[in-house]
Amino acid sequence: MKMTTYAILAASTIAAFPANAQDRADWPDSLSISTGSQGGTYFVWGSGLGSMIGERLGLPTSVEITGGPVQNVVLVETGETLVGFSTTGPAQEAMAGENELMPGMEAGNLRALFPMYQTPLQAVVLSSSGIDSIEDLEGKRVNLGPASGTSATYWQRYFDTAGIDVKASFAGGSDGAGQLADGLIDAFVYAAGLPTSAFSELAIQNDVTFLPLSEEDKATFKEAAPSMQDFTIPAGTYEGQDEDIPSVSMWNFAIAHQDLPESLAYEITKLALEDNARMKQLHASAVETLAENWDTNNFMPFHPGAVRYYEEIGITIPEDLR
């Protein structure tokens, strides 16, 4: 199996080491974080977190542009990267041997570090298109996001379950927004944290309409992916979006290979959860990056380093998640 990723340097070493030399003895010389496409929330998050790791832990960190969670869980499971981001659905399916990139192979090396934020399903069209609902996408040219990403995986399942036939294409956030603005596609459906930079730029430069999910749409999504839950995209998230938009969402987690050194897993988890003000400067979605949201993961074992941090702040991780 061959998967292509691209490394972008996110941070350089600075002499500020929270862990002593003995604790760092088994740390890698550098770290790589599997994220997603440019223009997506994962990429912004990874770039920011990578910079923090470089600044505060003195560990050079790079960002891998990938197809998103479905690919990220494979990269972390196989040890090609030691840290990555995933929504709960793809991680749980990989652990059950249902990942399309490694079918039948149960991922046993995945470990949770910390909760990130919720990823809502989003859909946007040009207002001039006359498209008013998800059902109106029948027969239309629709970009579903990167192939094998959360967006493409779950939007395709939704369309299949709902019996809606679309002319699907697959491109990252920035490319998908550009294609819609240029009239090359009729709609761009996506899954990313709020606000999604590609959608923000699109809404500033174009007159767009964000499509709501009806109660029937939401029920169909939950049928196609039981880990989905109701979500509301607040009014004002994007330029010209004056009303709340009903949707569904999945939680995102930072994940690691079980062989990530315990002290490094501890420091990364502590770094992300102790300075929420800094995290929110990286991306507004980090408002949900709180230790108290650890229980939105109920299936993936936490890394021992993460468990140590949670216990230090008074959170007891159940035995079946250790």
Give backbone dihedrals phi and psi of 178, rounded to 5 degrees, phi first.
-65, -40
SS3 8: strand
Tell me the pLDDT band of 15, cut-offs 50, 70 and 90. Answer: very low
Q: From 245, 233, 241, select the one nearest 204 (Cα to Cα).
A: 241
Query: What average pLDDT does this structure show over 2-25?
Result: 55
Q: Taking 80 as the threshold, does the pLDDT of residue 171 lie above it? A: yes
CA-to-CA distance for 308 and 188, rounded, in angstroms?
Answer: 42
| Segment 12-27 mean pLDDT | 66
Residue 18 has pLDDT above 80, yes or no: no
The two tokens of residue 218 are 């939401």
Q: What is the pLDDT of residue 220?
A: 94
The confidence score (pLDDT) of residue 23 equals 80
Mean per-residue pLDDT, 17-24:
70
Cα gap 203→198, rounded to integer Å? 9
Task: Please give the pLDDT value at position 2.
Answer: 42
**Residues in the chain, how many?**
322
Residue 38 vs residue 15, higher pLDDT: 38
Query: What pLDDT is stored for residue 9 in this prediction?
Result: 52
Amino acid 176: pLDDT: 94
pLDDT at residue number 41: 86
Decide: 259 and 27 in contact? Cβ < 8 Å: no
Q: Tens of pLDDT along 55-67?
A: 999 999 999 999 8
- DSSP assignment letter at 214: P
Q: Tell whether the model's pLDDT for residue 126 goes beyond 70.
A: yes
What are the start-end ranges of the E strands in the chain? 6-11, 31-34, 61-65, 83-87, 110-126, 141-143, 167-169, 187-191, 208-210, 229-233, 245-257
Question: Per-residue pLDDT averaged across 13-32, rounded?
Answer: 75
Q: What is the pLDDT of residues 84-120, one digit of tens each?
A: 999 998 899 999 999 988 999 999 999 999 999 998 9
Handedness of CA 208, 212, 217, 218 (dihedral sign): positive
User: Is the pLDDT confidence value at 10 over 80?
Assistant: no
Mark out the alpha helices in 58-196 (DSSP H runs): 69-77, 88-95, 150-162, 173-181
Residue pLDDT, tens place only, 185-215: 999 999 988 989 899 999 999 999 999 999 9
pLDDT tens figures, 212-233: 999 999 999 988 887 788 999 9
Burial class of residue 269 in the structure, from the number of CB atoms within 10 Å of its CB (0-12 exposed, 13-18 middle, 19+ buried): buried
- Tokens linked to 241: 């979006």
Tokens describing residue 246: 């009903």
Q: Determine the pLDDT at residue 168.
A: 97
Contact 175, 102 (CB under 8 A): no
Write out pLDDT tens, residues 285-318: 999 999 999 999 989 999 999 999 999 999 999 9
CB 8 within 8 A of CB 63: yes
- Other beta carbons within 10 angstroms of residue 299's beta carbon come to 13
Query: Residues with Cβ < 8 Å from 120, sequence gap 6 or more?
Result: 191, 193, 194, 231, 233, 247, 248, 249
CB within 8 Å of 219: residues ≥ 6 apart: none
Condensed to tens digits (0 to 9), the pLDDT of residues 177-186 reads 999 999 999 9
Question: What average pLDDT does the structure give for the chain?
Answer: 91
As a whole-number percent, the residues of the chain with pLDDT over 90 amount to 78
The DSSP output letter for 120 is E
Bigger pLDDT: 170 or 228?
Answer: 170
pLDDT in tens, 232-280: 999 999 999 999 999 999 999 999 999 999 999 999 999 999 999 999 9
Nearest to 197 by CA among 91, 303, 38: 38
